[in-house]
Amino acid sequence: MQTLDFVLVAGDESNEGSRTFVFQDEGHTLGNSLKTIVTRYPDVDFCGYTIPHPAENKLHYWIQ
């Protein structure tokens, strides 16, 4: 079974209603899947992801 490695972005604690995560070694497949599932929850105002640069194997995911 594969595990996901992610980091909660430091300094993101100031806003209790949102969080940013950085997933290592993940791409658009996980980002789009998470976004599709999480946006169905009524408590979620916004969620999205970005891959900062194709050479970096990181996925930045934020949820509010």
Question: What SS3 class is residue 46?
Answer: coil
Q: Which residues on adjacent β-strands are paired with residue 6? A: 23
H or E element in which residue 13 lies: none
Task: List the chain domain ranges.
Answer: 19-63
Q: Given the DSSP bridges, would you call strands 19-24 and 6-8 parallel, antiparallel or unpaired?
A: antiparallel
pTM for the structure as a whole:
0.76
CATH class of 19-63: alpha beta
* Number of residues that make up the chain: 64
Sign, CA torsion 27/33/35/36: positive
Taking the C-alpha atoms of residue 12 and residue 16, their distance in angstroms, rounded to an integer, is 9
Q: What is the pLDDT along the chain (64 residues), one digit of tens a residue?
A: 666 666 766 656 667 788 888 998 889 999 999 999 999 999 999 999 999 998 888 999 999 9
